[in-house]
Amino acid sequence: MSTELHTIERSFDDYYSRHARESLDELSESFTITDPSISGHPIVFASHGFLKMTGFSLDEVIGRSGGMFQGSGTCRRSVMEIREAVREERETQVVLLNYRKDGTPFWILLRVCPVFSAPGGAVVHFVAVQVPLMRKQRVCFGSGFSQVNEFVFRCCRKEVCSDSLAEQLGRTSSVNQVLEHDVTELDSEEPCEASDVEKGVAVTAMDNIFSVLTHYSEWTGRLVCRRRCSTPDVGLLSSSLIISLGRIKQSFVLTNPYLPDMPIVYASDAFLRLTGYARDEVLGCNCRFLGGRNTNTSALHLIRESIKTERPCTVRILNYRKDKSSFWNLLHISPVRDASGKVAYFVGVQIEDDYKNEDRQCWSPDRRQLSVIGAIKVAVRSLSMSAGSSRS
């Protein structure tokens, strides 16, 4: 099993145990569970109802983001509403046009809800319930025609109610072909609204899912809840910032200078691959665990001075992986300020100083480091500006 798939599997099993999968599979509803702490905010669980509705297999959706089901007809405003709710870590509900594996469009009522860690207040997952919007359809015919297949159109367009439909039916071998063609056009072009019944289905589905999640999280001792039960831990990163940082592919860590011992609060996937550690072995630790008996003290002194003076620096330092193997690390340290100019974090960007590494032929180490720093600063400042505007 690849490291990525192992991480995705652990994302679910560590909180709810494997038995939760069996209970969730017994639910008839269509839903997915995603993890914002993993790069790309991927799907870590998909129900049988969801797979049946979309036509995808489980292997085709696990590890992918929800964006794979969107297309040219998907309303960008609705997508932004979802992203805003994720950023603010709150529940939301939108009507969305999605696409099946075969490319056919279909309307859904999408209800998204965060899953909170009961003891720490962090968002550990998001549950997304998809309720297909069933349109009652009716064909309006001229004189001499009766109802076909008892379809009732919610919206009769002019060309459907005109005599041209009778001519089209006369040229078509099957009435169902006409209906199927017109229904496809309606699904892809006409906006759709959810009825009170469909909204009720979404609420009930979410209640059923959380009943399973909370029950099995008690088994693992990592209790989750639907509402934030406690104040988030100091230094906890928001889901939105984690998702933004997850798009950066280089090796780096983010540390919080306002917490005791300045612990790591975010570690990139590339950093974990470079060092061999798992994410839960890194978060909450000071970066000194990478050092060893031959780590150069002069580099450590420059790092401490950089943090003390809130100025960037670059050092070449001998570090050690989890398996005790050593590597020379071209480490760049830089403060990251929020929109008010206050230092919010320190970032450390690591590049293995290996002259056999072909990446050196593309971008120089300093350019790669500065690109990472720039992306992180944009993410942090954008978040702090958004938070400030929402408070005002």
Q: Is residue 145 part of a domain?
A: yes
Number of domains in the chain: 3
- If asked whether residues 69 and 207 sit together in one domain, one would say yes
Whether 54 and 87 map to the same domain: the answer is: yes
Please give the pLDDT value at position 167.
Answer: 43
- The C-alpha atoms of residue 222 and residue 219 are separated, in whole angstroms, by 8
Residues 372, 280 within the same domain = yes
CATH number of domain containing 387 = 3.30.450.20
Per-residue model confidence (pLDDT) at position 392: 47
Bridge partners, residue 131, by sequence: 109
Let me know whether 310 and 214 are in one domain.
Answer: no
| 386 located within any domain | yes
Residue 72 lies in a domain: yes
What six digits make up the tokens of 76? 């960008």
Same domain, 8 and 146: no
Predicted confidence at residue 214, as pLDDT, reads: 93
Does 344 lie in the same domain as 201? Answer: no
**Matching residue, tokens 């046009």:** 97
pLDDT of residue 231: 57
The answer to whether residue 360 sits within a structural domain is yes
Q: What are phi and psi of 243, to 5 degrees?
A: -65, -40
Q: Residue 234 falls within a domain, yes or no?
A: no
Single-letter residue type at 321: R
Residue type, 360: R
Residue 187 counted as domain residue: no
Residues 98 and 19 occupy one common structural domain? yes
| 76 CB-near residues (< 8 Å, 6+ apart) | none
Predicted pLDDT of residue 75: 92
User: CB count, 10 Å around CB of 67?
Assistant: 11
Residues 56 and 201 in one domain: yes
pLDDT in single tens digits along all 392 residues of the chain: 565 777 788 889 889 987 899 999 999 999 999 999 888 899 999 999 999 999 999 999 999 999 999 999 999 999 999 998 998 889 999 999 999 999 999 999 999 999 998 877 889 999 999 999 976 544 444 444 434 343 333 333 333 344 443 344 344 444 344 444 444 444 444 567 899 999 999 999 999 999 999 999 988 888 999 987 765 555 578 888 888 898 898 999 999 998 889 999 999 999 999 999 988 889 889 999 999 999 999 999 999 999 999 999 999 999 999 999 999 999 999 999 988 889 999 999 999 987 544 444 455 777 778 888 888 988 888 776 655 555 44
Alpha helices per DSSP H over the chain? 3-16, 19-25, 48-54, 58-61, 76-88, 158-161, 163-171, 175-189, 196-220, 239-246, 269-275, 279-282, 297-309, 365-391
Alpha helices in 19-75 (DSSP H): 19-25, 48-54, 58-61
Three-class DSSP labels, 266-302:
EECHHHHHHHCCCHHHHCCCCHHHHCCCCCCHHHHHH
Q: Are residues 379 and 265 in the same domain?
A: yes
pLDDT at 234: 52
At residue 132, φ and ψ (nearest 5 deg) are: -65, 135
Q: Is 161 inside any structural domain?
A: yes
Angle at CA 328, nearest 5°, toward 327 and 332? Answer: 125
Q: What is the pTM of this model?
A: 0.67
Tokens of 306: 């950089």
In a domain, 68, yes or no: yes
Q: What local confidence, expressed as pLDDT, does residue 144 receive?
A: 41
The reply to whether 367 and 305 lie within a common domain is yes
Residue (of 251, 279, 255, 275) closest to 265 by Cα position? 255
Q: What angle do CA 88, 264, 86 make, to 5 degrees?
A: 15
Instruction: Tell me the residue range of the domain where 352 lies.
Output: 239-391
How many Å apart are CA 349 and CA 373, to the nearest integer? 8
Structure tokens at 284: 């909450």
Clarify whether residues 119 and 141 are in a common domain. Answer: no
Q: 209 and 261 share a domain?
A: no
Sign of the C-alpha dihedral computed for residues 293, 294, 299 and 301 taken in this order: positive
